[in-house]
Structure 1
């Protein structure tokens, strides 16, 4: 008989530190046997020095949950800030308080930050368009809320996953898949569109999917005739193998709608899109659904390294010793320096107190709304 459980590591295993690499358990056992538990400072970094390649920080809410109620102090860059070299998070305390949490901590920050960075790239590619996250189907369902929160943090306008919305306190959006049209059968597209219109709540936009059985232009005209003034928009999701000149298809659709007095009907586009396609189509499409480009983004390659032991700077080869500060100058520059040295002129310190002696501070705002605003402002400042 098949095991009826899903292959999901439980939240309790993550919080307790069992979601770790085996060598941390062995390190912990060794240090306890040797009666060694030094006070350390450890920093999470992707790059040691700035190189001009900014990435967007996400995952801090989950990191705070992981590190809370332990005898450590934590400073971090708030979510929604762009970073380029130097630490994004620092832990200070007895090493055994957090040693076995490293694996999970890096995963929480790395995955979310990669998704958020890709979402911001999509947002900046079409700043005046509606851009929605359609990528939850490409990842394990247990992390759908991570995908959607990170996508919103990067500036996207909405997402599609229902359960993720329940977790992050936002309502999922979406209208109809090709399956609805297929269930009604070829030649019965009008029946499907009308049934949808008669069934779903009035708050749901009437956006008809128009590329299931026949030419996009043909189905768009038929949808407009079937729903009339109740039609809010059409979605074109033509698969890449049949797409041809996608820009030309969308321009044709716009022409035919306008020619029949449907200038207010919007055109939404989805299917294998990324920033380059959004830039190419943003002047003729009203909105986009972006899936795998965001959900399948490469995680940011964070590492956690000890940089001080019992107050003395130390590091492994290739890493910078000593506790550091990171700064944003008013011209958008990102700077890294030793803590306690002079800050660059006209700069702000990016790291803020997050946890003190295991307690998450109310002053650290990792709310989604605040992170979205930071990302928008930072992206403009640094020229992302």
Structure 2
């Protein structure tokens, strides 16, 4: 069995079969009618700025999808924040990319949602260690998408082994409750000592301290057991048993300090989101964030034709009459959308503005950059550079500033 988990294959995506059925029927109809217009299509979430920025990513997969296809594409840089207007623009004969719309939007929507949520966590605790623990909440086939989005947004590490292999990152993580159960109540020291003896020296010694007894008791026991080898304790107490979680963390910190364990860090995990990170960031040293990222809504992108040049040549030629006459196309749009080819700008004050391409834009930098030219990829992708861009742009536009 070549596909035991029932996932859509890369071949189906590249061949345009990972599509909605109505695009196949559109091709059949246009070919029957002898139509293949030259179009400009734009991917947008909001037509006008709303004051709410989101992170744009997933574009590296888009270029893989479009490589070798006779279209031109401009797009925002990977990791750029946006607020209205196009994030990506395609120009070419419509039948050269009609069936790719479904996959194109999927490549952008979910990763951009993950990255936006991860950036919210990053900005909620900018000085803390924040790790991505969300791989268990998504289908294994997209775990590298989650982890890449988290790293792009500035999180300090990931937990997933296979995703780390793809991304070239070493996964982090120490021990689950299952390890403690295997040793049993009263034998916590044996579990921590076995871990210390077994794992590589470069793995931090972070003891899980909320399994059987209260967090303070197990934290002190872990410190007494491992002594100077203990790097930190992790509190993963379920929400039904937390009570005042901030008070628990402060109590653990107090008791560790009282006994001379000031260098032992406190790491918190378990259903934490930006609100919890803001509440705890001054008393905890680090956090694991999972469902707050993976449960994020995808960005509601859509692709719409905004300019069209009619032609009646044979669609199989990939050319239409309009390609040869040098004339620009006619603006067009559905109700509720804006016609005409547009540009988006980052203004010096951190604003995001949308203007028609043929008009003078505002004082600022154009954000749409060449991505594909006649099927050739003309941009390189680097995760570190995208992360730096994301964090710098978040600062420039004040992303999450009201929550800090």
Indicate whether the TM-score tops 0.5. yes
Structure 1 unaligned spans of 5+ = none
Residue in 1 that maps onto 2:372: 355
* 1:260 Cα deviation from its structure 2 partner: 1.1
Q: Distance in 2 between matches of 1:244 and 1:69?
A: 57
Say which of 383, 386, 390 aligns to 1:371: 386
Residue in 1 that maps onto 2:345: 327
Say which of 348, 358, 361 aligns to 1:340: 358
Q: Secondary structure at the match of 1:308?
A: strand
Q: Distance in 2 between matches of 1:371 and 1:3?
A: 35
The residue correspondences of 1:10-159 to structure 2 (distance < 5 A) are 10-159=9-158
* 1:43 Cα deviation from its structure 2 partner: 0.4
Q: Secondary structure at the match of 1:234?
A: strand
Off by >2 Å, runs of 4+ in structure 1: none
What RMSD over aligned residues (CA atoms) do the two structures have, in Å?
1.1
Q: Distance in 1 between matches of 2:381 and 2:107?
A: 14
Q: Secondary structure at the match of 2:74?
A: strand
Q: For 1:115-157, what per-residue CA distance to the aligned partner results, in whole angstroms no more than 9, with x for missing partners?
A: 0000000000000000001011001110000000001111111
Q: Distance in 2 between matches of 1:182 and 1:339?
A: 63
* 1:183 Cα deviation from its structure 2 partner: 0.7
Aligned length: 380
Q: Secondary structure at the match of 2:117?
A: helix
The answer on 1:185 being equivalent to 2:184 is: yes
Question: Conserved in 2, the CA contact under 8 Å of 1:60 and 1:366?
Answer: no
* 1:294 Cα deviation from its structure 2 partner: 0.3
* 1:4 Cα deviation from its structure 2 partner: 7.8
Residue in 2 that maps onto 1:294: 293
* 1:230 Cα deviation from its structure 2 partner: 0.3
Structure 2 unaligned spans of 5+ = 310-328, 400-404
- TM-score, normalising length from structure 1? 0.98
Q: Secondary structure at the match of 1:85?
A: coil
Question: Conserved in 2, the CA contact under 8 Å of 1:78 and 1:366?
Answer: no
Q: Distance in 1 between matches of 2:375 and 2:50?
A: 34
Q: Distance in 1 between matches of 2:381 and 2:103?
A: 19
Q: Distance in 1 between matches of 2:141 and 2:377?
A: 25
Q: Secondary structure at the match of 1:223?
A: helix
Q: Secondary structure at the match of 1:174?
A: coil
Q: Distance in 1 between matches of 2:235 and 2:143?
A: 24
Q: Secondary structure at the match of 1:131?
A: strand
Q: Distance in 2 between matches of 1:380 and 1:103?
A: 33
- TM-score, normalising length from structure 2? 0.93
